[in-house]
Amino acid sequence: MVQKTVVEKHRVVVRFAGDSGDGMQLTGDRFTNATAMLGNDLATLPDFPAEIRAPAGTLHGVSAFQIHFASEEILTPGDAPNVLVAMNPAALKANIKDLEKGGVVIANEDAFVDRNLEKAGYGSNPLEDRSLDAYQVFRVPMTSITLRATEGIDVSKKQAEQAKNMFALGLVSWMYGRPTDVTVTWLEKKFAGKPAVLEGNVAAFKAGYNFGETTELFANTYEVKRAPAAPGMYRNVSGNTALAWGLIAASVKSGLPIFYASYPITPASELLHELSRHKNFGVRTLQSEDEIAACGAAVGAAFGGHLGITGTSGPGLDLKQEMIGLAVMLELPMVIVDVQRAGPSTGMPTKTEAADLLAAMYGRHGESPLPIVAARTPGHCFDTALEAVRIAVKYRTPVILLSDTFLTNSSEPWRLPKIENLPEIDPKFATQPNHDDGFMPYLRDDNLARPWAVPGTEGLKHRVGGLEKEDVTGNISYEAANHERMTHLRAAKVAKIAEDIPPLVVDDPDGDASLLVLGWGSTYGAIAAAVRRVRAQGKAVASAHLMHLSPLPKNTEDVLRKYPKVLIPEMNMGQLWRILRAEFLVEAELFSKVQGQPIHAAEVEAEILRRL
């Protein structure tokens, strides 16, 4: 046994990278779970290849998983990895530019053969040509050690080689003191029906861990202590999981069974998968033949007294807009989840972007306003789902919920809320006629919401459809004055929601900042981390983050006018920036990033300092 020095670290960013068949997402996920069990704060960033079956060993097929874990609160998956685990030359070439100078490269040297080097575009072996002299490079024969570790086990050579990701996981788990029992227990469950495969994977994992302990290659191990956290029960959740649970919680609190209809589309498909696992909560899921049918089915479910929900990404939102317009006309509660991705058209399906705000706001024909809410962190997807359902049910309106690829795939520790603290959601179904002349389906309450009458309720027969309705009666009407009145009523109903949402909260500790950084969506972590860094340099800066995008909080204009300078970082070409400038005629500056990657805290920090 080689004696190792234990070095304490406050934070570490590790990136696993390899071919799409190397199991990097699985490796990262298992490392994340072990890290969560130790009590570190963490944030993750999976990065999938856009090609479904890119040629093995090419740059287009590289898959990566980044995890940032710390002994203190963190807000982002990290700007640059400290450690890069590269399973092949393509993984090294695609990711080395992001590694911090002096960072650690752990390379599977068995994969650095001429054929793989050529496919990755290398003219020479980077492990030998001194091109990596700026980094600490550790050459580990992962494949060959894994093959030796699995000798005598009844698995094929291919199956044994596939376990090399478990070797890498074992090695990095040893480096950072991650518990082994968490991974072994998971392997035992996953491969319970395949004892030989189980034995091979466990052997590879332990071989990686033991290699770290016994080799002279690594002189240090690293300790990252538990992060302080409020008491409670925590789960490591991704955005899609939290969003699904939020919808289920809203269903339970409202007594409305979920009917979720969608067409499979990256990155929203996992929402369908997660909801389909919870039939015990009365969840009904439908995989439709197309996006339009999915949205139409959700509208029909809402008409039938269910919690009608549909989910998609940008291309699907385009197709759903006509049916969403119908839901606006019918004034029925419904939630449309849009997990945004890089576009336009098919764009980069596995990369993140937040460029659907204008489509959500104005994408339908005619005057068809609706509420829009946006999640800011994976865990916040739960709260956003609850809020979307609350607004939809109370105001009888479709609501668009914006998430994005970064939020949906990333994960973080999330404290389970107390059920009794969740908001009550009362559908207040109509049960009897509401007028001397019978049931009037467009007679509004104080919230300007019309009654919700479940078909078949005695005495409440009424007509629905896409044609303009007569005020109060709901009869078809082509009268000019009535159309204008109904148009203004639908808009006034959405605008009235501003009275029912919290004011925009500004983080400005001393109240003397001259610059406000305002964001929405998944830019939250980068903005908060950047502001923290700038304040550590003794400079004053304020920040605020919008959850409600339509209508905006009532104090939004007052907040904007308070600060001489306003900076709006966005993963688009300035959609919120345009809305705020048009709405309030305020000067604001834009920081735009549309690279299919999240905005980094360092980028926002640089923009803040430049303006200060």
CATH number, span 234-421: 3.40.50.970
- Give the bridge partners for 220, in sequence order: 5
Query: Kind of pairing, strands 548-550 and 372-374?
Result: antiparallel
* CA count, 13 A, side-chain hemisphere, 41: 15
Closest C-alpha among 507, 517, 583, 502 to residue 548: 502
Instruction: Output the pLDDT for position 532.
Output: 97
- Residue pair 337/403 in contact (Cβ under 8 Å)? The answer is yes
CATH fold of 506-611: Rossmann fold (3.40.50)
- Whether the pLDDT of residue 310 is over 70: the answer is yes
Q: Of 88, 87, 74, 3, which Cα lies nearest the Cα of 45?
A: 74
Please provide residue 587's backbone torsions phi and psi, each rounded to the nearest 5 degrees. -80, 135
- 1 pLDDT band (50/70/90 cuts)? low
Q: Please check whether residue 361 is in contact with residue 549, taking contact to mean a CB–CB distance below 8 angstroms.
A: yes
The C-alpha atoms of residue 14 and residue 571 are separated, in whole angstroms, by: 24
Cβ atoms of residues 240 and 408 within 8 Å: yes
The structural domains of the chain, with segments of one domain joined by +, span: 5-223, 234-421, 506-611
The reply to whether domains 5-223 and 234-421 share a CATH topology is no
| Tens-digit pLDDT profile for residues 569-608 | 999 999 999 999 999 999 999 999 999 999 999 999 999 9
Could you tell me the pLDDT band of residue 2, with boundaries at 50, 70 and 90? low
Mean pLDDT across the chain, nearest whole number?
96
pTM above 0.85, yes or no: yes
How far, in Å, CA of 385 to CA of 389, rounded?
6
The amino acid sitting at 472 is V
Instruction: Give per-residue burial for 444-465: e unless 16+ CB within 10 Å, then b.
Output: beeebbbbbbeeeeeebebebe
SS3 427: coil
Torsion (CA) 435, 439, 443, 444 in degrees, nearest 10: 100
When pLDDT is averaged across residues 252-276 and rounded to a whole number, the result is 97
- pLDDT at position 52: 75
Find, among 178, 148, 194, 212, the residue nearest to 27 by Cα. Answer: 178
Residue 463 predicted with pLDDT over 90: no
Q: DSSP H helical segments within 417-555, as ranges?
A: 480-496, 524-536
Question: With contact defined as beta carbons under 8 Å apart, do 11 and 70 qualify?
Answer: yes
Q: Per-residue confidence at 555, pLDDT binned at 50, 70, 90?
A: very high
Residue 52, exposed/middle/buried by CB under 10 A (0-12, 13-18, 19+)? exposed
The radius of gyration of the chain's CA atoms, rounded to the nearest angstrom, is 27
Confidence of residue 446 (pLDDT cuts 50, 70, 90): very high
Residue 3 has pLDDT above 80, yes or no: no
* For range 58-67, the mean pLDDT: 96
Q: 5-223 belongs to which homologous superfamily?
A: Pyruvate-ferredoxin oxidoreductase, PFOR, domain III (3.40.920.10)
**Is residue 200 over pLDDT 70?**
yes
User: Average of pLDDT values for 406-426?
Assistant: 94
| Of 145, 477, 156, 190, the residue nearest 329 (C-alpha) | 477
pLDDT at 553 over 80: yes
Residue 400's nearest CA partner among 363, 448, 444, 438 is 363
What single-letter DSSP state applies at residue 111? Answer: G
What is the strand order of the sheet 515-520 is part of?
506-507, 542-546, 515-520, 565-570, 589-592
Length of the chain: 612
Percent of the chain residues past pLDDT 90, beyond the cut:
96
